[in-house]
Structure 1
Amino acid sequence: MIVVGGGYGGIAAAKALDEVADVTLVEPREAFLHNVATLRAAVDPTWADRIFIPYDKLLSRGRVVRDAAVEVRPDEVRLSSGERLEPDYLVLATGSTGPFPSRIDATAQASAVERLHAAHTALDRASGVLLLGGGAVGLEFAGEIAAAWPGRPVTVVDPGPELLGGRFPDALRADLARQLDELGVRVLLGTRLDTPPRTPAGAVRPFTVRTGAGETLAADLWFPCYGSTVPTTYLTPELATARRPDGRLAVTEHLRVHGHERVFAVGDLNDTPELKMGRAAGAQGETAAANIRALIEGGPLTAYAPFADGILLTLGPAGGVGYAPEFGLLDAAATAQFKATFRLEHFRELLGAD
């Protein structure tokens, strides 16, 4: 039993199968990265080390191999070290990539923490910050910056006409706009830049840019907050045929990759119709594990039920907005309380760190 990828979906699947299968989890990172809290860690150095949790106690019977899969077919996984693994069952959980700091590509914990500290230093030095992308990442990062450095000019630019793409209730988006305004964050919707800043992202250096409407924006630090991708170059043609135009893999209701009885894909990698969030990836990992267990022991398979649209978007430690059909709207206080620890304790327990 091989799990490729040690993010939210991968650790859930590996943990759930540890007692019934010989599990090998393949992951290039030195430690699990609690990615949900990376934006807080970029503005608050006390979080930088906390968001990394060792893998060494995740499995009691299985093993975690710190390596990268470079070629994956249904019956074989070839690692960058040259080692070849032959799975009876395979779970693909390789997630997505994106720009720093919403994603961190460093695989060594020390290097990742160093980048987070460098981001904090840059933010502390900056006199004005420009964020390109007004989705959940850009807005949350803007709120974190504005809360950590009150009065620091923060501008968010996004080509879309509405906050969060109009996906959530008007009352949520109205409260979000109000809180951003109170924090001093300027959000320019329906706006594009003629050209991106000429200075490197994350470097403190004065620059100006012009919007399509002719307005000049000045700042000395910028970050991209858009452009996540799903890496699948490691897939051989047998599996790549399930790849959709957006790069995600088509899966059945049981999370099997189309055309393959013993290969499952979970998390950002698959095409389930829902927002790609950590809680969905974890639930999918558990569902895939339950179905593999059913195949091993005999029994019915479980269909995965995608989550309805929901969001918890923090705007610093004391602000934010939230919504889910089961509990409705959450105001700033409730959102901040709900995400005060970013559920760090849950993942420490899952990984055996406590």
Structure 2
Amino acid sequence: MTERKVVVVGGGYGGIVVAQALDDIADVTVVEPKEMFFHHVAQLRAAADPAWAEKIFFPYDGLLSRGRVIRDTAAEVRPGVVELASGARLDADYVVLATGSTGPFPTRLDHPERDAVAGRLSELHESLDRASGVLLLGAGAIGVEFAGEIAAAWPGKPVTIVDPSDEMFGGRFPEQMRADVARQLGDMGVRVLLGTKLDTAPDVPAGAVRPFTVTTAGGEVLAADLWFACYGGSVPSDYLSAGLASARQPNGRLAVTEHLRVAGQDRVFAVGDLNDTPEIKTGRAASRQAEVAAENIRALIEGGPLTAYEPFQDGIIVTVGPSGGAGYAPEYGFFDAEGASSFKGTFLLDHYRGLFGA
């Protein structure tokens, strides 16, 4: 039997797992525009601590033993065919869409060149070092972790988080976990203003070190000289053919079946941020979805039953600086700072080193 061809579009958290899982049974090609894998979950730590900047890049050449990673961009994907920006065409028996999401700086650093990303992290560190006060918009995981990293690296530097929600993390997760995060931030001198809206956004660009003031809806004037939006994002999918794009939902994500096949398709799968599974979009979820998608492609190749994907219940672990944090998982309950830092303090660097043979 001719070896089946699998094309994985995207070499992020989901794409690398599904590609490696099928490397022994299929002719696997990963299409990824970035020079190296960038472990962006740890990028805020790298911005605060330059010693981390060298730790979070992994070459793709150690990922697969039989397959290949092509540095290119998908221009159009349709069932059975991936057309590349370079003009090349890849025929595929199975396609896995794993192109992730984008977000505002510093939520994402999407430059394809490793040196450019490292330079951006260095510039961010310098900006944080020069700033006399930092304003973060958004009290979700990104805002909380960014505030913790800043406060730990520059003790005493004023950091303020503003969010219109009355609860941190939008009220998700148990009160015990949210209260513990708030306490740790307070102990580090971070001010968290919940249920607070700004009359207008700062009149200086995000990331620029320049004095500004903003006024809350309650009339309080906040002063700082550096600010960032720690929320928002989008799911790029403009490379999809009309047939695949018909599965796109109003939020931009693709509808998938319980087997993670794109709605209406038998041999096109979508994993990670791109699909509409009802769960928090995390690297953990993307990896598990990739495992299930790979199991199902293997079943279609070899014969056998398909595996249904079970979305994760709400759970999260956030760091509050290198030694703090908190979390909650339905199967374990509440994590205090020690538990959270033991799980996430290294951002699973050893796991990713092993994955890439680094």
Q: TM range, normalised to the smaller chain?
A: over 0.9
Q: Find the partner of 1:159 among 164, 181, 187.
A: 164
Kindly indicate whether the alpha-carbon contact (under 8 Å) linking 1:90 and 1:262 is maintained by their aligned counterparts in 2.
yes
Task: Tell me the alpha carbon deviations over residues 248-283 of structure 1, each in whole angstroms, 9 at most, x when there is no partner.
Answer: 000000000000000000000001111100011011
Q: Quick check: 1:296 aligned with 2:315?
A: no
| 1:340, distance to aligned residue in structure 2 (A) | 2.2
CA deviation map 1:139-197 (0-9, x unaligned) = 11011111111111001111111111111111111111111111111111112212211
Cα distance in 1 between the residues matched to 2:337 and 2:258:
36
- Normalised to the residue count of structure 2, the TM-score between the two structures is 0.97
Q: What does residue range 1-354 of structure 1 map to in structure 2 within 5 Å?
A: 1-353=6-358
SS in 1 for 2:132: coil
Q: Which moved more, 1:289-298 or 1:198-207?
A: 198-207
How far apart in 2 are the matches of 1:84 and 1:189? 51
CA distance in 2, matches of 1:348, 1:240: 35
Shift of 1:214: 1.7
| CA deviation map 1:25-81 (0-9, x unaligned) | 000011111121111111111111211111001011111001111211112111111
Q: Does the CA-based 8 Å contact 1:207-1:218 persist in structure 2?
A: yes
1:74–1:263 Cα contact (<8 Å) kept: yes
Q: How much does 1:101 deviate? A: 1.8
What letter corresponds to residue 286 of structure 1 in structure 2?
E
> What is the aligned-residue identity percentage?
68
Per-residue Cα deviation, 1:102-161 (whole angstroms, up to 9, x for no partner): 211111000000000100011011100001111111111011111111111001111111
How far apart, CA to CA, are the structure 1 residues paired with 2:353 and 2:85?
A: 28
Secondary structure of 1:23's counterpart equals strand
- Secondary structure of the corresponding residue to residue 93 of structure 2: coil
Aligned mates of 2:159, 2:251 — CA distance in 1? 31
Q: 2: distance between equivalents of 1:87 and 1:68?
A: 16
Task: Quote how far apart the aligned CAs of 1:324 are.
Answer: 0.6
Give the TM-score of the pair, scaled to structure 1.
0.98
SS in 2 for 1:218: strand
Residue range with higher mean Cα deviation, 287-296 or 206-215: 206-215
Give, in angstroms, the shift of residue 333 of structure 1.
1.6
CA distance in structure 2 between the aligned counterparts of 1:341 and 1:155, rounded to whole angstroms? 26
Distance 2:347 2:32 in 1: 23
**Which letter does structure 2 place at the counterpart of 1:86?**
D
Structure 2: gaps spanning 5 or more residues: 1-5
SS in 2 for 1:329: strand
Secondary structure of the equivalent of 1:196?
A: coil
How far, CA to CA, are the matches of 1:243 and 1:49 in structure 2? 37
Structure 1 gaps, min length 5:
none
Stretches (4+) displaced over 2 A: none
Structure 2 counterpart SS, 1:56: helix
CA distance in 2 between counterparts of 1:216 and 1:64 reads 51
Do the aligned residues in 2 keep the contact of 1:42 with 1:101 (CA within 8 Å)?
no
Please give the alpha-carbon distance, in whole angstroms, between the structure 1 residues aligned to 2:232 and 2:98: 19
Distance in 2 (CA, whole Å) between partners of 1:157 and 1:68 is: 37
Supply the AA of the counterpart residue of 1:126: A
